[in-house]
Structure 1
Amino acid sequence: MLSVKKVLNNNVLVAEHPDYEEVVLIGKGLGFGKKAGELVAGEQAEKFFVLKEAKEQEQYKQLLDYVDEHFIGLMNDIIEMVEERFSVQLHEHIHIALTDHLYYAIKRVKQGLDLKNPFLPETELAYPKEFSVATELIDYLSDKLELEIPPGEIGFVALHIHSALTRRSLKEVNRHTQLIAELVQVIEKSLQLQIDRKDVNYLRLVRHLHHVIERINKGQYFDNQETLKNVLQAEYPICYNLSWKLMKIMQQTLKKTIPEAEAVYLTLHLQRLSK
């Protein structure tokens, strides 16, 4: 038996748990007539998850004002699937952020609206495992709701998963994806070419940019390529100068210094693409 701490609605309540402190219990009629301090049988709940922070509890309560119980149940199934695939317990905020996002995404689908995702290829390359799990989740949701959810949503869900896994804000994760897309556009314009998004050299470039951003943010970039830098500057001046242009864009966006050694790696990637 668990002690009721707060009733969120007739079907959802917050209870005190001996192992997890506070948990959210979901079950038909579970919260009906219950008051704080009363006991409730944990096994009566169809679903339960941990929601520790008061701020998160309040946001979840607001969510329940417009999201129906059936969809809440589907979302809890989905979040359990993510935790199983990655063998982790996700940050509790995903219960709010992902539920809210998909609720409105499905509302748009039913209205015949399709929100395009311009960063879909870059998201798949940057976060392949998250993208694979997101694909599985969208297929599951499409099947349960009997409607076709556009593929662009896979990318958005992948970013939500990555945000929850890394405990980085969705805003920051989005900014990095958009930065890579912007760099690719600058490359295409500067080299006057249309890059094949399935070309192996493009895949290598995007993965490289992703790792560079991660390393710079973590302060783990210590390479020194002074000798090779001078050689490449003489051999491939166009690609070398473009690499510096890209580095300046990265520096302005990330608000961090990009090591000069990065000019070497970018020049090599650009030279392969320009061929």
Structure 2
Amino acid sequence: MNKNLQVKKVLNNNVVIVTDSSSEERIVIGKGIGFGKKHGEPILPDQVDKLFVLKDENEQEQYKTLLNHIDEKIVELINDVIVHIRTRFENDLNEHIHVALTDHITFAIKRLEQGLDIKNPFLTETQTLYPKEYTVAEEVIEMINKSLGIHLPEGEIGFVALHIHSAITNKSVTDIKKHSQLINTLMQMIQHSLDVTIDTKSINYLRLVRHLRHAIERISMGDIMEEQEKLAKVLKEEYPVCYNLAWKLIKVMQNTLNKPVPHAEAVYLTMHLQRLSRYDNEDKL
């Protein structure tokens, strides 16, 4: 990180606009970093490790706009939250989390004050797909609730987990939500078609959801899988219901992702569906 930072403008006690050695503007975020600072003063090297620097101009402008509508106490709290997230994952976070999480948490608090509760339909899938992010999100919501004396609903844990996953993987929250929604749709189709109620705590649910996640990622990246023609023929004959359902699921994935799906995906999906169907039938005996 460039350590030749000079204060250009103090936005509040926790956010400062600085210039670096090449005279480019940056937004520096850190607890108390702006307190008592004046134009031209340096940001000391021993403070740098405790700071976040927004380098992208669009991110800077969005963040400055947000600051006009947010209590400084909230800004400081969210900065503490992001420090906690970075510490728990022990790696850098995409700088967009400052804009995205600040905006989301502020809006969530506002909804709570207005008595509005937005349900999170992908909560179970999110917890299954991103267990560590979900655990850290639980800690984040607890920090916010305790600090502000409020009680954000459980659904917010899932939303925050998606923001965390986005920040550590550099994937957009929009794509992550789209994939979670797709998995939710596929799971509903599976339960309806096989006439089963899947225990979301079971190992079979966990395996199937993770398989769907990896399948969606493979399809999105255009990965080529080796064809399994002989196995596909056997599965089609032995397990026609699961095989046909696998292809229905593949059609939905193709239409949603707008990507071709290798035929081999039907083989692996069929095996997961057959395992799920077999265990469900055994439970009914």
TM-score normalised per structure 2? 0.87
In 1, Cα distance between equivalents of 2:213 and 2:86: 24
Gaps of 5+ in 2: 279-285
Q: Which residue of 2 aligns with 1:244?
A: 247
Q: Which residue of 2 aligns with 1:260?
A: 263
Does residue 194 of structure 1 match 2:204? Answer: no
Q: Which residue of 2 aligns with 1:74?
A: 77
Q: Which residue of 2 aligns with 1:12?
A: 15
Does residue 140 of structure 1 match 2:143? Answer: yes
In structure 1, the residue corresponding to 2:51 is in which secondary structure? Answer: strand
Does residue 100 of structure 1 match 2:103? Answer: yes
Offset of residue 209 of structure 1:
0.3
In 1, Cα distance between equivalents of 2:235 and 2:167: 40
In structure 2, the residue corresponding to 1:4 is in which secondary structure? Answer: strand
Root mean square deviation, CA, Å: 2.5
After superposition, where does 1:55-70 map in structure 2 within 5 Å? Answer: 55-70=58-73
- Identity rate of aligned residues, in percent? 54
After superposition, where does 1:153-232 map in structure 2 within 5 Å? Answer: 153-232=156-235
Does residue 235 of structure 1 match 2:222? Answer: no
In 2, Cα distance between equivalents of 1:198 and 1:114: 25
**Which residue of the other structure, out of 38, 53, 56, is the alignment partner of 1:53?**
56
Q: Which residue of 1 aligns with 2:6?
A: 3
In 1, Cα distance between equivalents of 2:134 and 2:77: 19
C-alpha change, 1:160 and 1:10, in structure 2 (3 Å) is: closer
Residue pair 1:15, 1:25 contacting (<8 A) in 2 also:
no
In 1, Cα distance between equivalents of 2:41 and 2:228: 66
Amino acid at match of 1:59: Q
Offset of residue 172 of structure 1:
0.7
Offset of residue 112 of structure 1:
2.6
Ranges of 4+ aligned residues in structure 1 off by more than 6 Å: none
Comparing 103-112 with 23-32, greater Cα deviation is found at: 23-32
Offset of residue 124 of structure 1:
1.0
How many residues align structurally?
A: 272
Amino acid at match of 2:91: V
In 2, Cα distance between equivalents of 1:4 and 1:92: 20
Does residue 30 of structure 1 match 2:34? Answer: yes
Amino acid at match of 1:205: L
Comparing 173-182 with 186-195, greater Cα deviation is found at: 186-195
Q: Which residue of 2 aligns with 1:39?
A: 41
In 1, Cα distance between equivalents of 2:20 and 2:27: 6
C-alpha change, 1:194 and 1:6, in structure 2 (3 Å) is: same
In structure 2, the residue corresponding to 1:250 is in which secondary structure? Answer: helix
In structure 1, the residue corresponding to 2:92 is in which secondary structure? Answer: coil
Offset of residue 181 of structure 1:
0.3
Residue pair 1:30, 1:44 contacting (<8 A) in 2 also:
no
